Chain A
Amino acid sequence: MVFSDLFFLFAFLPAFALCYLLFKRHRNAVLVAFSLLFYAWGEPVYVLLMLASVVVNYFVGLGIAKKGKPALVIGLVFNLGVLATFKYLSFFCAELLSLGIPVKVPQIALPIGISFYTFQSISYLIDVYRGTTPPQRRFRDLLLYISMFPQLIAGPIVRYGTIATEITDRHVDSKDLAEGMMRFLRGLGKKVILANQLSEISSLMLTGSGLENLSTLGSWVGIVAFTLQIYFDFSGYSDMAIGIGRCLGFHFNENFNHPYCCDSITDFWRRWHISLGTFFRDYLYIPLGGNRRHQALNILIVWMLTGFWHGASWNFLLWGVFYGLIVMLEKYTLLRVKERIPRPLLHIYSLVLVIIGWGIFYFEDFGQMKHFFHAFFGGAEVFSDFTAINTLSSYGWLWVVAIVFCLPVREWLNRWVARWNRPRPVLLTAVRCIVALLLLTASVALLVGATNNAFLYTRF
């Protein structure tokens, strides 16, 4: 089940809200039950895997308090073993087979959200080991932390310490509800109104006959559409997760901070999928030595793994290495002279590299990737074609709106409103109601008959 599914919006969510309100004293139990139902709806068998994972992590967490490092090692081996088995085993076996080594390739379907809940479990165990948080002694509450449906299948990767207190002691007031609802609707709008339609453009240009007949302009149009699509898709999901969490009294950390406003690739990764970046920083980069020793090697390892976390395919690894090398180069070059370079140039430099990065990310088939980049760098038979030009005008306002909403428009508006001598809460509330109405109505209309509604990050 995904947040932008009509069944989720108008069957699951109302049923959950009703039960949550009716059984206020047992709200965590209700949240756990609905979270398991949410996961089982898409993965009826793999819900058992997730439950088993929580059981193991529960006992390992308790074990760490008594035995320390050996228990942590057991926990890490278990979690990484689960991830390796269900996400990477088939891939590596297939690669070995292609090299002529006779191994059987197991047919293992990727459990939804496994990368997210495994990383959350690892963060819990390491935090317990480091003593930054005590182990959770109540199984149900640990199950709630790992399985909570708002962030279960596509993040953000919520640290246990972030919500440990709120699991047992949380309060929701009307401001939380109002902010949470608006955040949820904003995320829904990002996904349905922007990302889904941008995906029509990227699919048209970068798949099937569109890719076969790709012009240079078409390659740029397609990959820029994907650049915008993946941002609104993923940040939309994060907004919805944060919004639902807020309505329930949880305060998840932000996962995005206008990444396409970055002025370097280093800056981009401080703004994009923040929860993954900080996970690798805190649990891998710094333990490896950070910038104190073997910094270049540490950066490469972290970025290779960041790429590979996204999927069992060489293009993701290449994507990670691509960014690792740029971040490393920037450290010794750009970041030292950044202040002397005009900001527009820095933005252009960063965005071009980000767009190239998405080109690597998009194509799992290296033949297609080569064909794409050949067109992208001007090698196509024709510079422009009808489809490319047509998508620019047919979706004209979509492009404009999407680009505008990559900028911190809301923050500008808030600042502008704050400058008023006398705040007008009635007017503000009316505007927010109208925005909510438009977002929900347009999203519902667009969801009826939608065929391209899956969130990109649920497959990682």
Chain B
Amino acid sequence: MMRHHRILVGFVTLMMSAFTVVFCTLPRSTYSDLERRDLLRFPQFSWQRLRDGSFTQNVSNWFSDSEPFRDAFMRGSMEFKSLQSFKTKSAVTFHAAPSSAEAEIVVVPEFAELGDQRDIEEFHNNVNANAKMENAGVIVVGNAPNARALMAFKNKNKGEKSFAQVVNSYQKTFGPEVNVYCMIIPTAVEYYCPLNAESCTDPEFPVLTELYALIDTAVQVVDLYRVLGEHVDEDIYLRTDHHWSPLGAFYAARQFAMVSGVKVPELEDFESDTIKNYVGSMYGFSKDVNVKKSPEDFVYYKPLDVDYTTVYRKYDLDEAYQIVGEEPAHQGEFFVKVSGSSSAYCTFMGSDARITQVKSNADCPRRLLVMKDSFGNAIPGYLFGSFEEVHVIDFRYFTYTIKDYVEEHGITDILMANNISHVCSGAIGSAYKKILK
């Protein structure tokens, strides 16, 4: 029997030694593709940090955060966790339609008349599917290979009032000289959340109606709630990412064009390009292997018959995403070739931390400034033929004042395009206010 004990001891020792060699000698990971973040670095030493325990704590954190093959281990962990679930058949049926709890899908091939942008009806959803609540408030609907991950909408901060106030203040600042448009982008959960998971998310409709009531009539609202609802049977939102798809952004751009009185070509008049096997951010958020196993095509559209040049002023960021410098203006490509499929959404401009100026040969003397979060990145490409200049700034990365910028570049139209979660966050109102003047 002793011999068998020795075998067991030897085996366990061997396993522990193998893991020790892997964790202590192999090069450590510095970036997690899965979580899309830089991993922790070895902490800086100071006697003060040693004394208060933060140094040793950070060493442990660094060791546990930057292990070799981190993503592989995490994938293993997700596979393991997925085994815990009682398997259910993946039968997802979408019977979604505007204004009707019973109706089948209503596809509206052409835009109806514009109507009052603020007069919207609640979208009733009849999605029947198995769903589960995963990490970070992510609802995963269905199973691989067609799982859809939805970020639950939680209106905790009730920031809509401060956002409406700041939108109104933009309009008052610029007066009738500049058209101010407000586009609030609903998120996928509003359209695709199964009935049985509705309690996990707050409805976006009442927030939108409240916002539309709070925004002055001098501000032109571009409503997407109805427009996107008319296209729920198309791929208007990415299944594996928290963003919408370029197709969803196309419908948004068309709606904006109608409200602002410019023209946008039909979708067929754009050149499409596809990034295959895209798995977006929701895999890292949900840590659900079903999302990983549900890759999708990322289809985006580039303008044809428009000559345009793109100039960037990039910001340098530190590890905490704080601006630490600005690079000189330089010409670049608006549609960036990204490496690997996981960064597909960065196709538009490459990142958020920059000021973008696109000049085109459009036969329209108006100049548009798009103030946006990352959802807004997908919109400008459709508008290059509609405005002679399109400027894009991200409210989180802008070190000048909008008032000066508008005057300096002769901006005639300002489009504020942000997703509803950002709009309600509370922080966006103060951020917009800070950069106004």
- A residues at B contact (CB < 8 Å): 1, 5-7, 9-11, 13-14, 40-45, 173-175, 177-178, 181-182, 185, 197, 200, 204, 209, 213, 385-387, 389-391, 393-398, 425-426, 428-429, 432-433, 436-437, 440-442, 444-450
Tell me the bound Cα distance from A193 to B20 in angstroms.
Answer: 20
Out of A14, A204, A441, name the residue touching B20 (CB < 8 Å): A14
Tell me the bound Cα distance from A437 to B8 in angstroms.
Answer: 11
On whether the beta carbons of B5 and A390 are closer than 8 Å, the reply is no
Other A-B pairs, 6, CB within 8 Å; known A173-B2, A175-B2: A6-B23, A42-B57, A181-B8, A182-B8, A182-B12, A389-B196
Given A45-B51, A436-B11, CB of A6 within 8 Å of CB of B70: no
Contacting residues of chain B (1-54) with chain A, CB-CB under 8 angstroms: 1-2, 4-9, 11-12, 15-17, 19-20, 23-24, 35, 50-53
On whether the beta carbons of A181 and B9 are closer than 8 Å, the reply is yes
On whether the beta carbons of B133 and A1 are closer than 8 Å, the reply is no
On whether the beta carbons of B2 and A181 are closer than 8 Å, the reply is no
On whether the beta carbons of B23 and A10 are closer than 8 Å, the reply is yes
On whether the beta carbons of A386 and B73 are closer than 8 Å, the reply is no
Q: Which residue of A lies closest to B50 (CB)?
A: A44
User: B67 at interface (Cβ–Cβ under 8 A)?
Assistant: yes
Measured as residues with beta carbon below 8 angstroms from the partner, the interface class of chain B is 35 or more
Closest Cβ of chain A: how far from B67's Cβ, in Å? 6
| Residue with the greatest number of chain A CB neighbours at <10 A, chosen from B16, B131, B197 | B16
6 tightest A-B CB contacts, nearest first: A396-B86, A448-B73, A178-B5, A174-B5, A445-B76, A445-B77
Which B residues lie within 8 Å of A395 (CB)? 84-85
Which A residues lie within 8 Å of B84 (CB)? 197, 394-398
Tell me the bound Cα distance from A449 to B6 in angstroms.
Answer: 33
On whether the beta carbons of A429 and B24 are closer than 8 Å, the reply is no
Q: Which residue of B lies closest to A204 (CB)?
A: B133
Closest Cβ of chain B: how far from A5's Cβ, in Å? 6
On whether the beta carbons of B8 and A429 are closer than 8 Å, the reply is yes
Tell me the bound Cα distance from A44 to B54 in angstroms.
Answer: 10
Closest Cβ of chain A: how far from B320's Cβ, in Å? 19
On whether the beta carbons of B2 and A387 are closer than 8 Å, the reply is no
Closest Cβ of chain B: how far from A176's Cβ, in Å? 9
Tell me the bound Cα distance from A441 to B22 in angstroms.
Answer: 13
User: B63 at interface (Cβ–Cβ under 8 A)?
Assistant: yes
| Residue with the greatest number of chain B CB neighbours at <10 A, chosen from A385, A391, A394, A397 | A394
Out of A44, A174, A386, A428, name the residue touching B200 (CB < 8 Å): A386
Closest Cβ of chain B: how far from A214's Cβ, in Å? 11
Given A386-B133, A436-B15, CB of A11 within 8 Å of CB of B53: no
On whether the beta carbons of A396 and B85 are closer than 8 Å, the reply is yes
Tell me the bound Cα distance from A397 to B87 in angstroms.
Answer: 10
Tell me the bound Cα distance from A446 to B80 in angstroms.
Answer: 8
Tell me the bound Cα distance from A358 to B337 in angstroms.
Answer: 55
The A interface is mostly helix, strand or loop, or mixed, namely helix
Contacting residues of chain B (47-74) with chain A, CB-CB under 8 angstroms: 50-53, 56-57, 59-60, 63-64, 67, 70, 73-74
Tell me the bound Cα distance from A429 to B197 in angstroms.
Answer: 47
User: B154 at interface (Cβ–Cβ under 8 A)?
Assistant: yes
Tell me the bound Cα distance from A447 to B23 in angstroms.
Answer: 13
User: B81 at interface (Cβ–Cβ under 8 A)?
Assistant: yes
Closest Cβ of chain A: how far from B168's Cβ, in Å? 31
Which A residues lie within 8 Å of B53 (CB)? 42-45
On whether the beta carbons of A14 and B1 are closer than 8 Å, the reply is no
Which B residues lie within 8 Å of A185 (CB)? 12
Tell me the bound Cα distance from A421 to B57 in angstroms.
Answer: 53
Q: Which residue of B lies closest to A180 (CB)?
A: B9
Q: Which residue of B lies closest to A447 (CB)?
A: B64
Tell me the bound Cα distance from A408 to B9 in angstroms.
Answer: 25
Interface flags, B125-139, vs A, CB<8A=1, else 0: 000000111010000
Tell me the bound Cα distance from A66 to B197 in angstroms.
Answer: 72
Which A residues lie within 8 Å of B339 (CB)? none
Given A394-B84, A397-B85, A445-B77, CB of A178 within 8 Å of CB of B56: no
Which B residues lie within 8 Å of A181 (CB)? 8-9, 12
Contacting residues of chain B (211-229) with chain A, CB-CB under 8 angstroms: none
Which B residues lie within 8 Å of A11 (CB)? 20, 23-24, 63
User: B83 at interface (Cβ–Cβ under 8 A)?
Assistant: yes
On whether the beta carbons of A390 and B50 are closer than 8 Å, the reply is no
Tell me the bound Cα distance from A174 to B132 in angstroms.
Answer: 47
| Residue with the greatest number of chain A CB neighbours at <10 A, chosen from B24, B50, B84 | B84
Given A197-B84, A387-B133, CB of A10 within 8 Å of CB of B24: yes
Tell me the bound Cα distance from A202 to B19 in angstroms.
Answer: 31
On whether the beta carbons of B59 and A7 are closer than 8 Å, the reply is yes
| Residue with the greatest number of chain B CB neighbours at <10 A, chosen from A396, A441, A444, A449 | A449
Closest Cβ of chain A: how far from B139's Cβ, in Å? 9
On whether the beta carbons of B15 and A437 are closer than 8 Å, the reply is yes
Out of A178, A394, A425, A444, name the residue touching B9 (CB < 8 Å): A178
Closest Cβ of chain B: how far from A307's Cβ, in Å? 29
On whether the beta carbons of B200 and A387 are closer than 8 Å, the reply is yes
Which B residues lie within 8 Å of A10 (CB)? 16, 19-20, 23-24
Which A residues lie within 8 Å of B56 (CB)? 1, 40-42, 44
Closest Cβ of chain A: how far from B275's Cβ, in Å? 26
Given A10-B19, A209-B154, CB of A394 within 8 Å of CB of B8: no
Tell me the bound Cα distance from A436 to B19 in angstroms.
Answer: 13
| Residue with the greatest number of chain B CB neighbours at <10 A, chosen from A444, A447, A450 | A444
Which A residues lie within 8 Å of B51 (CB)? 44-45
Tell me the bound Cα distance from A44 to B11 in angstroms.
Answer: 36
Which A residues lie within 8 Å of B70 (CB)? 448-449
Which B residues lie within 8 Å of A5 (CB)? 60, 64
Q: Which residue of A lies closest to B16 (CB)?
A: A14
On whether the beta carbons of B77 and A449 are closer than 8 Å, the reply is yes
Given A43-B53, A209-B154, CB of A428 within 8 Å of CB of B199: no
On whether the beta carbons of A213 and B199 are closer than 8 Å, the reply is yes
On whether the beta carbons of A390 and B131 are closer than 8 Å, the reply is yes
Q: Which residue of A lies closest to B197 (CB)?
A: A386
On whether the beta carbons of A178 and B8 are closer than 8 Å, the reply is yes
Which A residues lie within 8 Å of B17 (CB)? 14
On whether the beta carbons of B8 and A436 are closer than 8 Å, the reply is yes
Which A residues lie within 8 Å of B81 (CB)? 197, 446
On whether the beta carbons of A394 and B15 are closer than 8 Å, the reply is no
Q: Which residue of B lies closest to A453 (CB)?
A: B64
Out of A197, A386, A432, A441, name the residue touching B8 (CB < 8 Å): A432
Closest Cβ of chain A: how far from B125's Cβ, in Å? 14
Which B residues lie within 8 Å of A1 (CB)? 56, 60
Which B residues lie within 8 Å of A390 (CB)? 131-133, 197
Which A residues lie within 8 Å of B20 (CB)? 10-11, 14
Closest Cβ of chain A: how far from B51's Cβ, in Å? 6
Q: 27 A-B residue contacts at CB 8 Å? A: A7-B60, A7-B64, A9-B19, A10-B19, A14-B16, A14-B17, A40-B56, A41-B56, A45-B51, A45-B52, A173-B2, A213-B199, A385-B199, A386-B133, A387-B200, A390-B131, A394-B84, A397-B85, A429-B8, A433-B7, A437-B11, A445-B73, A445-B80, A446-B77, A448-B67, A449-B74, A449-B287
Which A residues lie within 8 Å of B67 (CB)? 6, 448
Tell me the bound Cα distance from A7 to B57 in angstroms.
Answer: 10
Given A394-B85, A437-B15, CB of A448 within 8 Å of CB of B200: no
Closest Cβ of chain B: how far from A242's Cβ, in Å? 16
On whether the beta carbons of B74 and A448 are closer than 8 Å, the reply is yes
Q: Which residue of B lies closest to A1 (CB)?
A: B60
Which A residues lie within 8 Å of B23 (CB)? 6, 10-11
Which B residues lie within 8 Å of A204 (CB)? 133
Which B residues lie within 8 Å of A9 (CB)? 16, 19
Which B residues lie within 8 Å of A448 (CB)? 64, 67, 70, 73-74, 77
Tell me the bound Cα distance from A389 to B52 in angstroms.
Answer: 44
Which B residues lie within 8 Å of A45 (CB)? 51-53
On whether the beta carbons of A177 and B7 are closer than 8 Å, the reply is no
On whether the beta carbons of A177 and B73 are closer than 8 Å, the reply is no
